[in-house]
Structure 1
Amino acid sequence: MLALPGRGDPFDRHVLSCALVVAMEDVEQAQAPCLHASLGLHADSLSRLLDQCFPGLEPLEPGVTREGDTGEGAIEEADLRCLLLEHASHQGEVTTWLAHIVARRALKPGHLWQGLGLDERSELSRLMTRHFATLAQQNIHNMRWKKFFYRQLCGREGIPICKSPVCGDCPDYRACFVCDE
C-alpha cells in the first residue's frame, strides 16, 4: 500500500497518494495542464490537502503548479460530484476532496480504480464504503463503479440505460457487473 508520510487516516492518505501520483503522471505526459486540474480541485484545496495530509512534502515537479482553476471537466462531472457529496459519510475536507477527485478521475478512460492509481478494485469499494456509505450500499450487485455512477445519474433524469427490463437478461450484463477485479 502506497502512502506518503503525513497526517490523517492511513487509508485516506494511501488513496490521496495514489491519486497524486497518477495526476502528476498526467501532467508530465501533457494530459492535464496542472496537478490540481488533473484532480478536479481548486489550487487552494490542493494546497490545503498537501499541507494537511502531507506536511513537509518536497516541492512538486517544476511543471506542476498549484495556481489556477480546475479546468473544464465533462458536463456530468458536477452532477457526479453532487451525487457523491449527497452521500458523504463524513463532513470534512478529506471527503470533499475525494468527491472532487473521484468525479474528475471518473472522466478518464478505463476502470476508475486504475484512474485513481489504486492497486485493486477492492480499494475503491473500501473508499466508497468509508466515505460515501449510503451510495455504496446501493451497489448491491457489485456493478462497476463508473457504470453504477452513470446509472444513478441517468436514473435521476429518468433516462433508461439498460437494454433489457431485467439486468440479468441484458446482453451487456458482463460489461456492467463483476465478481471482483
Structure 2
Amino acid sequence: MSIALKLQDDRISLYARLKSQAMATPNQEWLACMVSSWCLGKSALPDYLGLEPAQFKRLVGHYFPDCRMPELAPSGIRPDFSRMLERDDLVNLLKHYSQSDGFESDCIIGIIVAGCLGNDHLWQDLGLLDRGQLSDMLHYNFPELAAKNDKDMKWKKFLYKQLCEAEGLYLCRAPSCAVCSDYPKCYGPEN
C-alpha cells in the first residue's frame, strides 16, 4: 500500500471516530473532518487549529473529549504574523454575517480565517474532503454572505473580494469579471 493511500485511510478512520463523538450539528461533522485532517498534517491550519489555546482546549474537551490531540500543528505550519490585520478583517466580515453567536460559531470563524491564510484552495487549507463541504459549511453558517457568491467564485477569492469591496478598493483592471483574463483563476474548477 502506498504512503498516500495509507494516510487517506488513516484520515478517514480518524474522521469516522471523531464524527461518532460529535454529531449534534452539521458544524460538528465539519469540525471532525478538519480536525482529523489537521491531526494527520493534511491541512494548512497552524497550531491550535488557528484558535486561541484556551478556545482550542475547550473545543477539544467539548466535542472530542475521548481523543488525545496535539496542540501544535503536525504539519509544522506556523502562523504568519505579518497578516494579522488581514486576519482581524476576515474575522469581522464573518462575524457580521454569522447566522449564530456563541462558542461554536467563534470556533468555525477562527478556523476558517486560519485557513484563509493558507496558500491553497480554502477547502484544502481547512482539510475538508472537497469544495462541496466548504460550500455547505459557509451556506449553513453565513447564508447571506454565501448567497452573494451567486457566480460560484472560489471561496477564498470571494472572501477577499468582499474585504476589498467593503473598503472601496477595486484592484481588478477589467470592467467586470466576465471579461477578465484571470476569470479561470477565480471561477475555474478546484482540484
| 1:101 aligned residue | 111
Question: What is the TM-score of this pair, normalised by structure 2?
Answer: 0.78
Equivalent residue, structure 2, for 1:35: 47
Greater helix fraction, Structure 1 or Structure 2: 2
- Return the match for 1:52 from 55, 62, 78: 62
Match of 1:14 in 2: 29
Q: Which residue of 2 aligns with 1:147?
A: 157
In structure 1, distance between residues paired with 2:90 and 2:171: 17
Q: 1:61 Cα deviation (Å)?
A: 4.2
Distance 2:131 2:100 in 1: 22
For 1:119, the aligned partner's letter is: L
> CA-atom RMSD, angstroms?
2.8
1:72 equivalent in alignment to 2:88 = no
Q: Describe the SS at the equivalent of 1:154.
A: helix
How big is the shift at 1:80?
0.5
TM-score, with length taken from structure 1: 0.82
Q: Do the aligned partners of 1:113 and 1:124 also contact (CA within 8 Å) in 2?
A: yes
Alignment of 1:80-159 (within 5 A): 80-159=90-169
Runs of 4+ off more than 4 Å: 61-64
1:114 partner letter:
Q
CA distance in 2, matches of 1:104, 1:158: 24
**In 1, Cα distance between equivalents of 2:130 and 2:99:** 22
In structure 2, distance between residues paired with 1:164 and 1:175: 14
Task: Give distance in 2, aligned partners of 1:138 and 1:52.
Answer: 33
Q: Which amino acid aligns with 2:30?
A: V
Q: Can you give the 5+ residue segments of structure 1 that lack an aligned partner in the other structure?
A: 65-69
* Structure 2: distance between partners of 1:61 and 1:126: 27
Contact 1:22 1:115 (C-alpha < 8 Å) held by counterparts: no
Is the partner of 2:21 in helix, strand or coil?
Answer: coil
1:180 CA drift (Å): 6.7
User: Which of 151, 165, 181 matches 1:171?
Assistant: 181
User: 2: CA distance between counterparts of 1:166 and 1:152?
Assistant: 15
Q: Do the aligned partners of residues 14 and 62 (structure 1) sit closer, same or farther apart at CA in structure 2, a change above 3 Å counting?
A: closer
- CA apart distance, 1:158: 1.3
